[in-house]
Chain A
């Protein structure tokens, strides 16, 4: 766990994800501080945010958004899974710039609306092609690292529902003012 924590700390210090996101090809985005009352980079995620528990989406907060932020997007990816990696656990875009985080337990039912403060936000398609959060379920005994990445965008992108990670990264290219990560781990026993 100590080694994983070191990796996560290094990534956060550089303000970069471990991915080869197109975002990294842009001018260095400003670092956003991503936090959670329940998650800590390098520490184990509580079971309630995994299928070993209720599999709720975890609460997140962010601060230090760049000036001119008009919209926000969030991805949760596991770069140690997927073919090709990463395996995407969660994708949300169209988050109003006025939002300062995500509450716990965003909807999994299609009839359930987003909270008012997230009006207009859309959950895109994760690795299971489902429009909601599904938490970590790595093979037993193998710790995996989960990147909760927050992107600050320079304009509302007006994206439609049903986008996956590649669609979103393509749409965000050239519009990312800043980004930041929270990188917890999870091991299944």
Chain B
């Protein structure tokens, strides 16, 4: 069998597993400083950590992830929710940007799990398939991810802390959050995720006409963050300064 297979449509299976009904609220508990629809602001790289954008002008500058980590995480996200005939995927939606920003805030407790897990995953790909993940064929990338997901990569002298399946579950969950969560948190860029699942957006008031359109599947997306509504307040957490605005 050849390795050069067409890209799989893992998206639909993944969406079924995620439960699209709750996707819009997937990131509701996460507070980071990125604004919706705004390109992330470059930040100084911590000592010993090379920002991804440093080597490739014009690219997104990651704040928490190293260049290698960001590249690998983008490649994984691209397999989980690829661009296909249904539209752009997780990478275009900025899911990795979301993760990067969140690792500096509400998901900071997962930073070491990412650091160790991504390194272990790369070691696993090299030892089992003979090349870094990004250099593998599509089918070998899928195969490696299956082995990580099922826990088969655990104990393969790669250094996963605990089950490789736990690492996969964490990444999958965060990619979903970054693709389908409210754009306020740095992902779902240009409402790509919501358009993908045909989520028309938050309405704070629903008229009979809107309700009829919704039930007929004809409600046009409003492409607004929940936090664009005046009656929603924002909890802002940033690395440099923690402050909470709470007006309700």
Contact = CB atoms under 8 A, between A and B. Distances in A.
Q: Do A and B bind each other?
A: yes
Contacts of B140: 54
Interface of B, helix, strand, loop or mixed by DSSP: loop
B54 interface: no
A65 B104 CA distance: 63
B9 A111 contact: yes
Contact of A51 (B8, B139, B142, B153): B153
B142 A108 contact: yes
A106 interface: yes
A52 B128 contact: yes
Given A51-B156, A188-B156, A107 B1 contact: yes
A130 interface: yes
Contacts of A140: 155
Contact of B150 (A54, A56, A128): A128
B146 interface: yes
Given A51-B128, A134-B152, A140-B155, A109 B5 contact: yes
A51 B6 contact: no
A83 interface: no
Interface in A159-189: 188-189
Contact of A111 (B5, B128, B151, B153): B5
Interface in A90-112: 103-112
Contacts of B127: 52
A139 interface: yes
Q: Which of B6, B140, B152, B153 has the most CB of A within 10 A?
A: B152
B27 to A, nearest CB: 29
Contacts, number: 65
B155 A188 contact: yes
Interface residues on B, range: 20 to 34
A105 B1 contact: yes
Contact of A109 (B139, B151, B154, B157): B139
A9 interface: no
A55 B147 contact: yes
A130 B146 contact: yes
Contact of B155 (A55, A104, A109, A139): A139
Contacts of A139: 155
A37 interface: no
Contacts of A53: 128-129
Nearest to B6: A111
A123 to B, nearest CB: 13
A81 interface: no
B143 A108 contact: yes
A108 B152 contact: no
B8 A109 contact: yes
Interface in A45-67: 47, 51-56
Contacts of B157: 189
Contact of A54 (B143, B153, B155): B143
Contact of B8 (A55, A56, A103, A110): A110
A28 interface: no
Interface of B: 1, 5-6, 8-9, 127-129, 139-140, 142-143, 146-147, 150-157
- 10 closest residue pairs by CB, A with B: A105-B1, A51-B152, A137-B152, A51-B147, A109-B8, A112-B5, A128-B150, A109-B5, A140-B155, A55-B143
24 contacts: A47-B128, A51-B128, A52-B128, A55-B147, A55-B152, A106-B1, A107-B5, A108-B146, A109-B5, A109-B6, A109-B139, A109-B142, A110-B8, A111-B6, A111-B9, A112-B1, A112-B5, A112-B139, A128-B150, A134-B147, A134-B152, A137-B151, A140-B155, A189-B157
Given A110-B9, A111-B9, 6 more contacts: A51-B147, A52-B156, A54-B129, A108-B139, A111-B8, A134-B152
